[in-house]
């Protein structure tokens, strides 16, 4: 009897700190006002469409010492599903889509890397991401990538900053409630890079993570930091199977 | 690189009310912000948008500080005859962008 009660308590306490069950996951889209959803759904009103035009132009423009364009090697149709698989391993290193684009730029085009969070890189990432809109997120977990995923999970559950809060406390345990009048979403990165009305521009997932770090009064990492990419990997894995909305609109 | 997107029907029946939606890429600087050394950042906004239909102005908007970046303007007009609609955005720092779209009225 005592053993059974102990087992029950053990299971119950494990459930309290657990991740959101797969069927209960909701995209940030579902927490938005009707007007903001309409803005995202219509390509004529989604302001990120302006970046898509830039991205398309950059995709087709020759650059660097090799005088090659992205389009010279890759048909854009082949980019379908690519954004749904990042971050991914590249020569043993975990890279996100922006970093992967820069690797191609440096190694293949022989051009200087684009500035992280700069307009050009965001435009290219949005254009590549757009090809995967509507496709489910597929993060492959292998023995090689597992340590990165676990590092990301640990970061998600680690309390940090002056407010001593972990990502999980808001986004796993208190989603759906309000924080200063705004709904707390589940933190699924389904639409990055996205147009955030607060930013009045396009931004990456790392920029969004930076906002949360500042929110809990922790010191944010520099753009491109390994810690961010691990967190991105965990968040994408956590949203596995959910559909990509890139480029999304968020309040 | 300034981008604009205009969304409107390519064909319409005579007398039909058509909806036109325009999106212009622009950073927008209010003119009220200061740098760390206290200097005022000069205002940089779109101040006027006009739409003319075969040379006749059918819609005009004056924009002021506090307008969103990348403004979306949605308005309607009556399809009277086939021709061209000319859109023009003008503003600070000699900002001047135009775009035209054809419409066939049957």
* Contact residues, chain B, for A201 at CB < 8 Å: 69-70
Residue A7, pLDDT above cutoff 50: no
A9 in any annotated domain: no
What pLDDT is recorded for position A2?
Answer: 52
A 201-240 residues inside an 8 A Cβ radius of B: 201
Residue A18, pLDDT above cutoff 90: no
CA distance A109 to A67: 7
Q: Which two tokens stand for residue A89?
A: 């391993």
Q: Which residues of A194-218 are buried (b: 16+ CB within 10 A; e: fewer)?
A: bbbeeeebbbbbbbbbbebbeebeb
Q: Say how many domains are in chain A.
A: 1
B106 in any annotated domain: no
B28 with A47: Cβ contact below 8 A? no
B21 with A45: Cβ contact below 8 A? yes
Q: Say how many domains are in chain B.
A: 1
Percentage above 90 pLDDT, chain A? 90
Give the domain CATH number at B8.
2.60.40.10
A47 with B72: Cβ contact below 8 A? yes
A5 in any annotated domain: no
Give the domain CATH number at A197.
1.10.760.10
For A59, phi then psi, to 5°, come to -60, -35
Q: What's the average model confidence in pLDDT over A91-100?
A: 95
Q: Which is catalytic among the residues A104, A167, A170, A212?
A: A212
Q: What DSSP string runs through A68-105?
A: B-HHHH--GGGGTTTGGG-SEEETTEEE-HHHHHHHHH
A 185-204 residues inside an 8 A Cβ radius of B: 197, 200-201
CA distance A59 to A123: 9
Q: Which two tokens stand for residue B88?
A: 């023009």
Q: List, for residues A202-250, the tens digit of each pLDDT value.
A: 999 999 999 999 999 999 999 999 999 999 999 999 999 999 999 999 9
A19 in any annotated domain: no
Q: List, for residues B43-52, the tens digit of each pLDDT value.
A: 999 999 999 9
Domain enclosing residue B42, as ranges: 4-97
What pLDDT is recorded for position A11?
Answer: 43
Q: Does A130 sit behind a cis peptide bond, omega within 30 degrees of 0 on the bond before it? A: no
In contact, A202 and A247? CB cutoff 8 Å: yes
Domain enclosing residue A107, as ranges: 26-251
What pLDDT is recorded for position A19?
Answer: 87
Residue A18: CB atoms within 10 Å: 11
* Contact residues, chain A, for B28 at CB < 8 Å: 200
Identify whether A212 is a catalytic site residue.
yes
Q: Does B26 sit behind a cis peptide bond, omega within 30 degrees of 0 on the bond before it? A: no
Contacting residues for B36 by C-beta, under 8 A, at least 6 apart: none
Search chain A and give the residue with CA nearest B69: A200
Whether A53 contacts chain B with CB within 8 A = yes
Which residues, in sequence order, are bridge partners of residue B100?
B86
Average confidence score pLDDT of chain A: 92
ipTM: 0.87
A212 in any annotated domain: yes
Nearest beta carbon to residue B3 from set A45, A50, A200: A50
Q: List, for residues A21-77, the tens digit of each pLDDT value.
A: 999 999 999 999 999 999 999 988 999 999 999 999 999 999 999 999 999 999 999
What pLDDT is recorded for position A9?
Answer: 43
If pLDDT is split at 50, 70 and 90, which confidence band does B2 have?
Answer: confident
CA distance B75 to B22: 9
What pLDDT is recorded for position A3?
Answer: 54
- Please report, for chain A, how many H helices and E strands are present, in that order: 10, 7
Q: What letter does residue A221 receive in the DSSP assignment?
A: P
Optimal mutation site among B23, B46, B66, interface A, most CBs of chain A within 10 A: B23
Search chain A and give the residue with CA nearest B4: A50
What pLDDT is recorded for position A17?
Answer: 59
A17 in any annotated domain: no
């Amino acid at each position: 009897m005592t053993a059974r009660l102990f087992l029950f308590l053990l299971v119950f306490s494990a459930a309290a700190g657990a991740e959101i069950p797969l069927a209960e996951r909701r995209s940030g889209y579902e927490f938005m006002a009707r007007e903001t959803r309409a803005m995202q759904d219509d390509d004529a009103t989604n302001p990120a469409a302006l970046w898509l035009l830039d991205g398309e132009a950059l995709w087709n423009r020759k650059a660097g010492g090799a005088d090659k364009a992205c389009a010279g090697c890759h048909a854009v149709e082949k980019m379908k599903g690519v954004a749904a698989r990042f971050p991914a391993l590249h020569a043993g290193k975990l890279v996100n889509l922006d970093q992967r684009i820069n690797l191609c730029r440096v190694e293949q085009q022989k051009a200087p890397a684009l500035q992280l969070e700069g307009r050009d890189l965001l435009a290219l990432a949005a254009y590549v991401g757009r090809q995967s809109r509507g496709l489910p997120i597929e993060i492959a977990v292998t023995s090689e990538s597992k340590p990165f995923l676990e590092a990301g999970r640990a970061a998600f559950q680690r309390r940090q900053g002056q407010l001593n809060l972990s990502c999980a406390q808001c986004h796993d345990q208190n989603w759906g409630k309000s924080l200063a009048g705004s709904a707390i979403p589940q933190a699924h990165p389904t639409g990055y890079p996205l147009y955030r009305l607060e930013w009045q521009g396009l931004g990456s997932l790392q920029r969004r993570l930076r906002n949360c770090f500042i929110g809990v009064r922790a010191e944010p990492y520099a753009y491109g930091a390994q810690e961010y990419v691990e967190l991105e990997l965990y968040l994408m894995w956590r949203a596995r199977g959910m559909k990509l909305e890139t480029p999304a609109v968020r309040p | 690189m300034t981008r604009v997107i205009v969304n409107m029907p390519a064909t319409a029946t005579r007398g039909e009310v058509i909806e036109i939606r325009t999106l212009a890429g622009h950073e927008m600087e209010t003119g009220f912000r200061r740098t760390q050394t206290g200097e005022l950042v000069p205002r940089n906004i779109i101040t006027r948008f006009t739409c003319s239909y075969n040379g006749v102005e059918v819609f005009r908007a004056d924009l002021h500080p506090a307008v969103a970046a990348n403004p979306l303007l949605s308005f309607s007009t009556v399809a009277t005859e086939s021709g061209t609609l000319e859109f023009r955005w003008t503003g600070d720092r000699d900002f001047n962008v135009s775009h035209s779209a054809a419409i066939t009225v049957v």
